[in-house]
Amino acid sequence: MAKVPVQFTLNGSEKAEFIDSGTTLLNALRDKIGDTSPKGGCHQGTCGACSVIIDGELRLSCLTLAETCNGAAITTTSGLSEGGVLHPVQRAFLDTFATQCGFCTPGTIMAAKVLLDHTPNPSRDEVVEALSGNICRCTGYESIIQAVLLAARANSQNAA
Amino acid sequence: MAIRRGRGVAAINYPTGMNLGGDPTQALVHSTPTGNFMVTLSSVDLGQGMKQIMAQICAETIGVPTDRVVVDTADTDTGPHCMGTFASRGTHRAGNAVIQAAREARQVMLEVAAEELEVNASDLETDGQGNILVKGAPQKSISIFDVALSAHFKRGRSISGRGMFLIPRSYPEKETGAMKPSTCYAHACTVAEVEVDDETGEVTVLTVKNIFEIGRALNPKMVEQQLVGGSWMGISHALYETTEPYYPNRDHGGTDFNQYLMPGPGDLAETEIIVLERPSADGPYGAKGPGEMCANPQIPAVANAVFDAVGVRIDTLPITPERILRALKAQAPN
Ligand code: FES
Ligand code: FES
């Protein structure tokens, strides 16, 4: 089958690949481009581990065809830190011990970032709502909720 | 038809490790030329924090900062033998093996330092910051960096050690059947409060209060993380999770996350964790295994709370609305 070209920005740098038509963005990122931060937990849209940010919106990369991402700006967790300095959401996950095996973490961090981008001072209920598409086997969620609330507080202190 | 409240209590006693054909774990420790230490294991870090804890144990035993230790795990082709990371045995078994290996390595390290300083090895101590000092004369000292360089390039010594920890198999006594399947037990108690809707059979866990006795908490924040996650998992086992809802019949088993249910971030019970530290006699620095046991007491506590709320004993897990309604129906006078 003929390959199709795709071109997008990933964490600020231009990427161009030839892929099989029908390849999911998740597989293109992991197997073609080598960004393994999005995880494949279910490949059917039920776990959230593959979450990425496409043009500012939270998306499940396992349900997104790579060829629909032409020209898009894609952010993954591997692109969040700058010059070795962790993003405030990543920092907060460390500070609240919100990760154990870490499989859910990149997807959960994406969900948290999109929430805070849109709603810098979320209520606990808004955090819970934003995380409700991300399954975690290990933490019992409380430390993740606390991480997002902590990152929000850090944001508002920086803004003040 | 009403929402009914109930409260249940359960306490457990949980062995660390198991008693099949004997329960061994081995460890190797060696220094690099720059005086960092490498711990080699076949045990697995699957998120419970094995690497961090083994680094702490090795560092404490050798007398160096934790960041001077690198832990390599989980290659059964190349690593020393480990039975595995299960039965809450990782910290206890691998930790004891690492202590033994680190002690042997520390001894070689002190011997090399003694040659360099022209003193007796038994007169030396570590400062925990990467230096070896003469007891009572701390101005006479050498860095572990220099000791490692000397061992590698001058004295031809390997600063290394072997650790072998084995809990031998326990056989039952012929007369009495008495045996010692485990040397070390952790304990826990949970009080759960639930609401049961006796019309729909739905259970909501309002609060769980847990007390865990886990020996010494070698890393208190990581212990808390395990216990909070475990408490949630216990509730999940009590009310939601199963691969075989009509066990032993396999029909209707969940095949994906749409059908295999767990409580999400919106279904959390108010959770309290209290840790009691009673150092164990044979654990590494007094530790026991808090891993699996922390997800156990919630299950009987929730079952007891359901009984307290609506008067039915559900003895099959998970305690689903269907099981509660069937039990209520069976109990109703008709
Ligand atoms: S892998 Fe995409 S939602 Fe699970
Ligand atoms: S940390 Fe293991 S799945 Fe979330």
- Report strand pairing: B124-126 vs B131-134: antiparallel
Among B118, B224, B292, B322, the active-site one is B292
Same domain, A40 and A57: yes
Q: For residue A160, what pLDDT is reported?
A: 59
Hey, are the CB atoms on B266 and A132 less than 8 Å from each other? yes
Q: How far is ligand 1, taken at its centre, from the CA of residue A51, in Å?
A: 7
- pTM summary value: 0.93
Looking at residue B309, its amino acid is A
Q: What is the CATH number of the domain that holds A36?
A: 3.10.20.30
For chain B, the structural domain boundaries read: 3-16+182-331, 23-166
Q: How far is ligand 2, taken at its centre, from the CA of residue A103, in Å?
A: 5
Choose the final residue of a domain: A18, A49, A79: A79
- The pLDDT tens digits for A68-121 are 999 999 999 999 999 999 999 999 999 999 999 999 999 999 999 999 999 999
More confident residue, B79 or B231: B231
Tokens describing residue A45 = 């849209």
Same domain, A150 and A101: yes
Hey, are the CB atoms on A142 and B231 less than 8 Å from each other? no
Q: Which of A128, A132, A140 sits opposite B232 (nearest CB)?
A: A140
| Catalytic (active site) residue B322 | no
Choose the final residue of a domain: A79, A110, A144: A79
| Mutation pick for ligand 2 pocket among A97, A103, A109 (CB with most ligand atoms within 8 Å) | A103
Ligand 1 binding pocket includes A46 (Cβ within 6 Å): yes
- Residues from chain B that touch A138, judged by Cβ atoms under 8 A, are 47, 229
Q: CA geometry: angle at B218 spanning B126 and B276, to 5°? A: 135
| Number of structural domains in chain A | 2
ipTM score of complex:
0.91
Interface contact B256, partner A, CB < 8 A:
yes
Q: What is the largest CA-CA distance in chain B?
A: 93
Average pLDDT over residues B63-91: 91
Q: How far is ligand 2, taken at its centre, from the CA of residue A38, in Å?
A: 13
Q: Domain of A151? A: 88-159
Ligand 1 binding pocket includes A43 (Cβ within 6 Å): yes
Q: How close A124 comes to chain B (CA, Å)?
A: 10
Same domain, A97 and A51: no
Choose the final residue of a domain: A55, A79, A103: A79
The residue length of chain B stands at: 334
What percentage of chain B carries pLDDT values higher than 90?
Answer: 82
What percentage of chain A carries pLDDT values higher than 70?
Answer: 99
Which CATH number among 3.10.105.10, 3.40.50.2300, 3.30.365.10, 1.10.3720.10 corresponds to the domain B23-166? 3.30.365.10
Same domain, A62 and A105: no
Same domain, A106 and A128: yes
Q: CA geometry: angle at A32 spanning A28 and A34, to 5°? A: 100
> Could you tell me if B18 and B5 are in contact, meaning their C-beta atoms sit under 8 angstroms apart?
no
The residue length of chain A stands at: 160
Q: How close A133 comes to chain B (CA, Å)?
A: 9
- The pLDDT tens digits for B46-73 are 888 999 999 999 999 999 999 999 999 8
Same domain, A17 and A47: yes
Same domain, A13 and A75: yes
Q: Which CATH class is domain B3-16+182-331?
A: alpha beta
Q: What is the CATH number of the domain that holds A131?
A: 1.10.150.120
- The pLDDT tens digits for B165-175 are 999 998 999 99
- The pLDDT tens digits for B112-166 are 999 999 999 999 999 999 999 999 999 999 999 999 999 999 999 999 999 999 9
Same domain, A67 and A117: no
> Could you tell me if A50 and A44 are in contact, meaning their C-beta atoms sit under 8 angstroms apart?
no
Same domain, A7 and A75: yes
Q: How close B185 comes to chain A (CA, Å)?
A: 23
